[in-house]
Amino acid sequence: MLKDLSIETVLNNLTMGIAILDENRDFIYINDLTTKITGYSISEIKNLEQWFKFAFPDPVQREKIHSAFKEKLAEREHYNRVSEIKTKSGKNKFVEFRVNPIGEDYLLVNLVDVSRRIEREKEIKYLSYHDELTDLYNRRYFEEEMKRLDDSRRYPISIIIGDLDNLKTVNDNYGHLLGDEYLRKAADILKELLRAEDVVARIGGDEYAVLLSKTDKKDCIQICERIIKKFEAQNSENNFPVDFKISLGCATASRSGKKLTDIYNQADKNMYKNKGRR
């Protein structure tokens, strides 16, 4: 029944790339999908050493991957790894390689382009720690960072809690699209005024939190003052229909031993005290 089907026809219709190498680690077969994934035909990559140079131009990365590969093969074990390769066009792709020894001397290599899967996994991981509207970190990430820094050498550590004033008024009278603009603008100001290493998060509907390592009480208060002034300046610059303001509270742990969750709670209380005075 299969007499009209050649082995090559079957291999070229598989949903994964196929490459076969002989005892000298020269390529003796590459199917069409392997060429589509990598950009290289069998006439362009003669052997395994040449392939490693093309796919991994960085010598440090190449040596690391090559060593792991040779170690597995020396023990006649299967090799399975997802690696980021450079294709002939210069584009990077994530490819899953499955290498199986066949017979005494040959290697069968399966290749699957998993770039979309890897990118999706990265996106899911990113969204699990970020607020989609403002692109700030979310509460989950903020709380994990507090735990991580609890016993660190990054003291003094300060926390700022902010509550965006008038957001309900904006949403009720001008709609949530404008309310979202207020939230994004607040996030932009915080990112602009704070250091790259500071953890800036949106932890609730109109609430923000900032985790500042190696920042004492005096510096933290000065940072709060700069934030308040920057918010006030936005009203004339943007013609907001409702005052663009934020209430802030801060607290500082001067040394380790005091839980950062307690510092967080104190900063939150201070924020509500300040909000009541405005």
19 Cβ neighbours under 8 A, 6+ residues apart: 27, 29, 30, 31, 34, 108, 109, 111
What's the CA gap between 201 and 131, in Å, rounded?
A: 8
Of 113, 163, 165, 206, the catalytic one is 206
Q: Is-catalytic flag, 4?
A: no
Closest CA to 187 of 231, 225, 226, 154: 231
DSSP type of residue 26: B
DSSP string, 134-191: T-SEEHHHHHHHHHHHTTSS--SEEEEEEEEETHHHHHHHH-HHHHHHHHHHHHHHHH
What's the CA gap between 126 and 66, in Å, rounded?
A: 30
3-state secondary structure of 131: coil
Burial class from Cβ neighbours inside 10 Å (0-12, 13-18, 19+) for residue 248 reads buried
3-state secondary structure of 234: helix
Burial class from Cβ neighbours inside 10 Å (0-12, 13-18, 19+) for residue 50 reads middle
Residue 278, CA distances (Å) to 21, 245, 273 in order: 75, 10, 9
Closest CA to 210 of 273, 151, 137, 154: 137
Q: Which residues are catalytic?
A: 206
